[in-house]
Amino acid sequence: MQVSNRYRLIEPLGEGGMGVVWRAYDELLDRTVAIKEVRYAGVGEAKRAELNRRTIREARAAGRLDHPSVVVIHDVVEQDGRPWIVMQLVRSRSLAQVVREEGPLRPGQVAMVGGRVLDALRAAHATGVLHRDVKPENVLLADDGRVVLTDFGIASLEAEAGLTASGGLVGTPAYMPPERLNGEPARPESDLWSLGATLYAAVEGEPPFKRDSWAATVAAVLRDEPEPPARAGTLTPVIMGLLRRDPGTRMPAEEAARLLHEAAINAPGDSRQATALQGMRPAPAGGPGHPTSEAPAYPTAGERPAAVRERSRRGTTLWVTLSAVAVAAAVGTGGTLLYTSRTTPTPTPTAAPSTSTSGPAPTPAQTLPAGWRTFTSPAGRFSIAIPEGWRATKHPTRDSISFKGPGSPGMMIVEWTTPEVSWKSPEQAWLALEKEIQAKGEFQGYTRIGITLLRYRGRAAADWEFTRIRDKQLIHVINRGFHTADGRPFALYWDTTDARWAQDKHYFTKFARTFKSL
């Protein structure tokens, strides 16, 4: 069968209460896609026409979203009296399937997945789009490492009059917030409640209000307090905060994002991290490779930002907002992100000069991790602890030092400079840099995990975390941007292979904990 004389249906991929999802072939663009055939059973012609209008309208609304963790909608057509939604085919397993097959996930895994879903919801809410059916079945753990939120087919634009105001209840009771069950309209906080229930199910194995029947589940959501999760650990505060009954006191998205970020970063390593979500990421090709030691350049006065440059076009750079080190080091042999105005040869990095030496013992607040030593850079006016056997490399023309050594394929870079342009929000700084990256299309498989505001050393900071593909490997990056008390901008960058992220993320935690400006 063909849809719209263009899409040839191949096989069904799944079936739910609102229709069937098909694998299909787009004969015009020569690609495989997923098509959702939306079916409404047991309704009259007038009601069906109304539902079709709503579905088409809301699918178009979802199609406006441009976010790596939101499934891409290519087309919406109407045929045989029902809508067909043409979407990107995401090779994946759903979160529900992973939990069903592998058992409850570890808190660190759930924090990572939850952070990406929340990032997608925040992007949707910023454009007025609500999801209204966040649940494990609609969270896809993709083979390429992404976490994708799908089925915005019952989403609703806040700015438009809802066609379900007459009484149609859409959603899954176990993941539906109390206000929705009480007949109140959906709001952004409603999606946050559903996210909390989804995180609860992921870490506990079942949702907080699961009962023996639909009616009993609804009654439990409306009446009962959720039982605190037993396995959530550091995730407990964010889960319980999102499950507050009153939307007005429900944990805000910004706070939830911060707590999920911290839980993901600080979760203890676990061998199951690499296997319980096996369907999320490809196996590294050729074993873990060492990232490049080439650090990004920094500015000279009077330069202005220009573009992303490949390795052959590297040049000197300008500090515009925050350090570009996150993306620069992440490119590896494929190129470096530079804000440039002229091209110059890039010298090969050399070992750190003798002016960078082992410094004094840390203060009590900076107790050295076992097997680590203090490194001090007079040029950068900072000290930081590094593992024994790791080597510091000072770039001869750039204000950055990279650290690499045995025990991990990862690399740490500390970068500093004199600010040329002031900035007020580190979050907005990263967003601006990300926008330029995406506009240039230089990062293969780039996926933002989150840009999270936090307090670091008593000052505003932002952690930019993302993944990208480099040399056929999925690379996981975190970069912390901030100003010191005397106004100097710094970036603390860490990257490693995504397969080693859970095992190696303690490095970044220790680097950040022991960093001190001088």
Q: Do 50 and 177 fall within a single domain?
A: no
**Is 164 part of any domain?**
no
Domain count, the chain: 3
Answer whether residue 45 shows pLDDT above 80: no
Please report the pLDDT score of residue 292 as a whole number. 32
CA distance 432 to 146: 22
Q: Mean per-residue pLDDT for 196-224?
A: 92
165 found inside a domain: no
Residue 351 lies in a domain: yes
Give the Cβ contact number of residue 483 at 10 Å: 20
Q: For residues 135 and 137, give the distance between their C-alpha atoms in angstroms, rounded to a whole number.
A: 5
Catalytic residue of the set 30, 75, 119, 133: 133
Residues 503, 518: Cα–Cα separation, whole Å: 31
Identify whether 382 is part of a domain.
yes
**Same-domain pairing of 252 and 315:** no
Q: What span, in angstroms and rounded, lies between the C-alpha atoms of 377 and 413? A: 13
- Confidence band of 70 (pLDDT split at 50, 70, 90): confident
Q: What's the mean pLDDT in 388-407?
A: 90
Is 498 a member of any domain?
Answer: yes
Q: Give residue-wise pLDDT tens across range 100-153.
A: 998 999 999 999 999 999 999 998 898 888 888 899 999 999 887 789 998 775
Domain assignment present for residue 506? The answer is yes
Determine the 3-state secondary structure of 58 from DSSP: helix
3-class SS of residue 48:
helix
Cα–Cα nearest to 334, from 318, 313, 349? 313
The three-state (H, E, C) secondary structure of 427-468, written as one string: HHHHHHHHHHHHHHCCCCCCEEEEEEEEEECCEEEEEEEEEE
Paired tokens of 66: 């441009």
Do residues 76 and 105 both lie within one domain?
Answer: no
Alpha carbon of residue 489 to chain centroid = 24
> Final residue of a domain: which of 280, 297, 322?
280
Q: Is residue 113 within 8 Å of 95, Cβ to Cβ? A: yes
Q: What share of the chain in percent tops pLDDT 70? A: 74
In this structure, the answer to whether residues 54 and 180 fall within a common structural domain is: no
- Looking at the structure, tell me whether residues 73 and 132 fall in a common domain: no
Q: How many CA atoms lie within 13 Å of 312's alpha carbon, on the beta-carbon side?
A: 0
Rounded to 5°, the CA angle 356-476-327 comes to 60
Q: Are 22 and 12 in contact (CB under 8 A)?
A: yes
Pick the last residue of a domain from 88, 115, 135: 88
Q: Of 118-127, 331-340, 386-395, where does mean pLDDT reach its minimum?
A: 331-340
Tokens for 282? 């490809």
User: Apex CA 464: angle with CA 383 and CA 240, to 5°?
Assistant: 110
- When mean pLDDT is compared across 43-47, 303-307, 390-394, the lowest value belongs to 303-307
pLDDT range class, residue 423, cuts 50, 70, 90:
low
Active site residue 224: no
Supply the pLDDT for residue 42. Answer: 64
Q: Are 198 and 170 in contact (CB under 8 A)?
A: no
pLDDT exceeds 80 at position 253:
yes
Q: What does the pLDDT read at residue 349?
A: 36
**CATH code for the domain in which residue 41 is found:** 3.30.200.20
Nearest to 235 by CA among 205, 269, 200, 274: 200
Confidence of residue 16 (pLDDT cuts 50, 70, 90): low
291 vs 490, residue with greater confidence: 490
- Answer whether residue 173 shows pLDDT above 90: no
71-75, 113-117, 380-384: segment of lowest average pLDDT: 71-75
Q: Which of the listed residues 260, 280, 300 is the one where a domain comes to its end?
A: 280
pTM for the complete prediction?
A: 0.57
Q: Are residues 79 and 107 in the same domain?
A: no
pLDDT value, residue 480:
94
Check: CB of residue 276 under 8 Å from CB of residue 106. Answer: yes
Least confident interval from 79-88, 261-270, 473-482: 261-270
For residues 37 and 116, membership in a common domain is answered with no
Please check whether residues 74 and 119 belong to one and the same domain. Answer: no
Q: Which domain holds residue 224?
A: 93-158+170-280
Ramachandran category for residue 10: left, alpha or beta (phi over 0 → left; psi -120 to 50 → alpha):
alpha
Report long-range pairs for 102-106 (Cβ below 8 Å, ≥24 apart).
Answer: 102/275, 102/276, 102/277, 103/205, 103/276, 104/202, 104/203, 104/204, 104/205, 104/231, 105/202, 105/203, 105/276, 105/277, 106/203, 106/267, 106/270, 106/272, 106/273, 106/276
**Which range (116-130, 163-177, 496-510) has the least confidence?**
163-177
CATH of the domain at 426: 3.40.1000.10
Same domain, 344 and 317: yes
pLDDT at 309 over 80: no
How many other CB atoms are found less than 10 A from the CB of residue 223? 10
Whether residue 273 sits in one domain with residue 349: no
Query: What sign does the dihedral 378-382-384-390 (CA atoms) show?
Result: negative
Total residues belonging to the chain: 518
Please name the residues in contact with 291: beta carbons below 8 A apart, sequence gap of 6 or more. Answer: 329, 330, 332, 404, 409, 410, 411, 470, 475, 495, 496
Residue 516, phi then psi, degrees to nearest 5: -145, 130
Residue 238 has pLDDT above 90, yes or no: yes
- 197 bridge partner residues: none
pLDDT of 39 above 90: no
Which tens digit of pLDDT belongs to each residue from 451-462?
A: 888 899 888 999
**Residue 416: inside a domain, yes or no?**
yes
Residues 80 and 102 in one domain: no
Which CATH number fits the domain that encloses residue 195? Answer: 1.10.510.10
Q: Where are the alpha helices (DSSP H) in 30-94?
A: 45-63
Residue 163 resides in a domain: no
Same structural domain, 479 and 389: yes
